[in-house]
Amino acid sequence: MAEGRQRIDKWLFFARVVKSRSLAAKLAAAGRVRINRDKASQAADVVKPGDVLTITLDRRIVIYKVLDPGMRRGPAEEARTLYEDLSPAPVPKGEAPADAIPPLREAGSGRPTKRERRETDRLRGKD
């Protein structure tokens, strides 16, 4: 293999994107990794410095620019030197995106208020 190139499953494992190399291989085989906008079809696809990876994880999408192939799965500080994180900042909880439509509910279509429950109880004869 050419110098500076590495299998995608090994790189994902060394960069600590996933916990094991077999999970990295499954991620690549499932088509959840894109290398420069092209889907990785197998774990043996190679990455090189300068490639941009778009990885779909459980609840988020991360975008990494490959800076260096890894030599081993080291500590997290060492793993962070393998890539540059280009992911957009996550939206803070409780805040909706700017283009989100606010939820609308017609008056009286939700759960009854305490006052309405008391009125219902009075009608049924439960005082």
- Whether residue 22 is contained in a domain is answered as yes
The pLDDT value given to residue 33 = 95
The pLDDT value given to residue 11 = 96
- Whether residue 17 is contained in a domain is answered as yes
List b or e across 43-58, with b for residues whose CB sees 16 or more CB atoms inside 10 angstroms: bebbbeeebbbbbeee
- Whether residue 92 is contained in a domain is answered as no
- Whether residue 77 is contained in a domain is answered as yes
- The CATH number that applies at residue 32 is 3.10.290.10
- Please tell me the distance from the alpha carbon of residue 20 to that of residue 31, in angstroms, as a whole number: 17
Task: Report pLDDT digits (tens) over 13-54.
Answer: 999 999 999 999 999 999 999 999 999 999 999 999 999 999
Task: Report pLDDT digits (tens) over 64-122.
Answer: 999 999 999 999 999 999 999 999 887 677 776 667 777 777 777 788 889 989 999 99
How many distinct structural domains can be found in the chain? Answer: 1
Domain containing 14 equals 6-85
Q: pLDDT class for 2, splitting at 50, 70, 90?
A: low
Q: pLDDT class for 1, splitting at 50, 70, 90?
A: low
* Residues contacting 5, CB < 8 A, separation 6+: 46, 47, 48, 69
- Whether residue 91 is contained in a domain is answered as no
The pLDDT value given to residue 93 = 73
- Whether residue 100 is contained in a domain is answered as no
